Amino acid sequence: MKSATTRRRVAVVLAAALGAAGLAACSTESGTDPGTYTWWDPYPQHEVGSAWAQRVDTCGEQAGVTIDRTAYDTTALTNQALLAGQEGNAPDVILLDNPAVSTLAEAGMLTTMSEFGLDTARFDRNLIAAGELDGETYGIPIGANTLALYYNQDILDAAGVDPASITDWASLNTALAQVKDAGKRPITFSAIGTEEGSFQFLPWFWGSGAELTELDSPQAVEALRLWTDWVTDGTAPNSVITNSQNTTWEEFLTGEFGFAENGTWQINSAAQAGFPTGIVQIPARDGGVAPTPTGGEFITVPVQSDTGRYDTTKQVLECMTTPEGLVQTGTTFAYYIPSTAQGQEAILVEEPSLRPWVDAVRSAKGRTSDNLGTDYPKISEAMWTAVQKALSGAASPAEALAEAQAQAESTTGG
């Protein structure tokens, strides 16, 4: 989940002004030109002529068509997609942030992969689950990013901490205490009251054994107490309450923190830091690796009145998701791990240093997995609200999560 594209999921009801803007932005309606296929993605930073744009164009050329690509900000993209579905002029392909797949699927906009005829068996089961709803798969991941604990090697060396010793919460707390005793700041993370805060809390939540259908379980309370204790005793700074993931990273780059929770998208920045860095997997409470949430986009295929277009669209998607294609996507963005075992092994040949991130992605979990679908954003908001209340001292972890569970039940009907 890239900080720059992480947003709260927007309401389905769209403003009239947005609708007008959306119609202006959609330059080609599907079906108006059999030799042109429309493609929407959330990468406006990758302009015409960029490596990403060339990747898309090449797959179109291999399928014998021209790709008409339009890029939107992530939030605008979901809005525009819903509007296009209502207007009946959806593009041939949309790349969506994975939690938004359920939104469009539930609206009846997307073709299932089985109807489309695309075999999804080669994609990692834990990754493709984020595109599933009620037993059907509505998209395929072009790659994934996730979270781990970056560390400052100089600080850990001075504090006598061996990163390999961090295997559970107890050993992590020991390491944090050693960093604190050495006169450095132990850890920073993002607990902001947005989806970013939930994204960063989920490894600890899931790592405790908690489930999103029961926000107030004893395990969930233990996870929130861990964070609350860190803020209360100075292990983590008070700034985590308002930190975005980018702000957290900026804190880490000061060289004052032993650890920072952050994502694959910081790989290049970490390599350019003014100190040696490394990562360890976020540990589960009782040992092993905690499930971390997956970020990243899914390729989805909106329903078309002319189903004959699907054959060519399928060729484009297959081109994008060959092992070589997934590696090209991963290296183009510098923070995506391929979503198939073959793709992962191929990228490790080029970049062996990505091994810890490949391992992290293999144990990661989709936020909408467990068939949460469109309930997830409501649950997430209740969860990040609880985190904010507990870290600010407005409520105890148990009280905050009890309120969160009641809020989630009232909004989801569960």
> Residues of the chain with pLDDT > 70: what percent?
92
Residue 263, beta-bridge partner list = 147
Q: Which residue has the higher pLDDT, 205 or 412?
A: 205
Position 274 in a domain: yes
pLDDT at position 198: 96
Indicate if the pLDDT at residue 86 is higher than 50.
yes
Both 208 and 281 in one domain: the answer is yes
**Per-position b or e across 164-194, b if 16+ CB within 10 A of its CB:** eebbbbebbbebbebbbebebbbbbbbbbbb
pLDDT at position 369: 86
Quote the DSSP letter at residue 133: E
Both 128 and 174 in one domain: the answer is no
Position 86 in a domain: yes
How far is it, in rounded angstroms, from Cα 317 to Cα 329?
A: 13
Mean pLDDT of 371-395: 95
pLDDT in tens, 282-303: 999 999 999 999 998 999 999 9
Distances 270 to 21, 150, 260, 347, 350 between C-alpha atoms, Å: 38, 8, 11, 19, 18
> Residues of the chain with pLDDT > 90: what percent?
82
**pTM (2 decimals)?**
0.87
Residue recorded with tokens 């041939």: 92
pLDDT at position 248: 96
pLDDT in tens, 165-182: 999 999 999 999 999 999
The domain that contains 337 carries what CATH number? 3.40.190.10
Both 398 and 278 in one domain: the answer is yes
Both 26 and 119 in one domain: the answer is yes
pLDDT band of residue 401 (cuts 50, 70, 90) is: very high
Both 49 and 100 in one domain: the answer is yes
Position 41 in a domain: yes
Distances 132 to 16, 45, 279, 304, 365 between C-alpha atoms, Å: 31, 28, 30, 20, 13
Of the candidates 93, 132, 128, 98, the one whose C-alpha atom is nearest the C-alpha of residue 302 is 93
Both 266 and 398 in one domain: the answer is yes
pLDDT at position 23: 31
Highest mean pLDDT among 112-116, 236-240, 321-325: 236-240
Here the tokens at position 164 are: 């390999």
Both 10 and 119 in one domain: the answer is yes
Which region, left, alpha or beta, applies to residue 413 given φ > 0 means left and ψ of -120 to 50 means alpha?
A: left
Both 192 and 271 in one domain: the answer is yes
Indicate if the pLDDT at residue 397 is higher than 60.
yes
Lowest pLDDT segment from 151-160, 193-202, 366-375, 401-410: 366-375
pLDDT band of residue 272 (cuts 50, 70, 90) is: very high
pLDDT at position 32: 54
Position 367 in a domain: no
Here the tokens at position 361 are: 């992605």
How far is it, in rounded angstroms, from Cα 102 to Cα 375?
A: 9
Both 234 and 311 in one domain: the answer is no
Residue 147, Cβ neighbours under 10 Å: how many? 27
DSSP, collapsed to helix, strand or coil, labels residue 186 as strand
Number of domains in the chain: 2
pLDDT in tens, 326-377: 999 998 887 789 999 999 999 999 999 899 999 999 999 999 988 898 899 9
Indicate if the pLDDT at residue 384 is higher than 50.
yes
Task: Identify whether the C-beta of residue 339 lies closer than 8 Å to the C-beta of residue 129.
Answer: no
What range does the domain containing 151 cover? 147-292+372-412
Both 287 and 159 in one domain: the answer is yes
pLDDT in tens, 11-58: 332 333 233 333 333 333 444 578 999 999 999 989 999 999 999 999
Q: Which residue has the higher pLDDT, 73 or 6?
A: 73
Both 97 and 168 in one domain: the answer is no
Distances 211 to 128, 294, 355, 369, 373 between C-alpha atoms, Å: 19, 16, 28, 11, 15
Both 237 and 258 in one domain: the answer is yes
* Helix, strand, coil percent values for the chain (each to nearest 5): 50, 15, 35
How far is it, in rounded angstroms, from Cα 367 to Cα 385?
A: 17
pLDDT at position 181: 98
